[in-house]
Amino acid sequence: MDTKGKETPEAAGLNWRNKPRRTFTPEQRLAIVRQTEAAGVSVAEVAQRNRVNTNLLFKWKRLHGRGLLPAPKDTAALVPVAVVKAARRKVRRPVAKPRATATSAAGTIEIEVPGARIYLHGPISEADLASTLRALARR
């Protein structure tokens, strides 16, 4: 005698094997990862709210932390910038070897993004600025 019940159409709809695998766009992944960055938020809670496996969300967080999570394709290459007059202060910088690249006039560039603030002081070479912007683009 068969003790297993036959699968009804309603029960078949609940079976995960009958459903196609869900895919998430880079925008969705980044939005879900950013939800976990708020203070006092549980990763498991965010995963449950977005119907994502907790281990998968931890993987996305790890990739995002390393800069390996694919960035959304429609993000702007430039961000709004405000120029402010800063108070003079002495900044110790390590002595670097002179480079043969063009530099801008002495000044300060401050870039503020969620979770980070980058200051570039003094003469800034194009190579330094390009590497900083590349690092920000990976974020």
Indicate the domain borders of the chain. 9-66, 76-139
pLDDT digits (tens, 9 = 90+) for 23-73: 998 889 999 999 999 889 999 999 999 999 999 999 999 999 888 888 766
Query: Is residue 84 helix, strand or coil?
Result: coil
Q: Is the dihedral of CA 38, 40, 42, 47 positive or negative?
A: negative
- Contact yes or no for 2/46 (Cβ under 8 A): no
* Entry pTM: 0.42
- CATH number for 9-66: choose from 3.30.70, 1.20.1530, 1.10.10, 1.20.120: 1.10.10
Q: Which of these, 16, 19, 28, 20, lies nearest to 56 by C-alpha position?
A: 28
Lowest mean pLDDT among 18-32, 57-71, 74-88, 120-134: 74-88
Query: Is residue 103 helix, strand or coil?
Result: strand
Tokens of 80: 């709004």
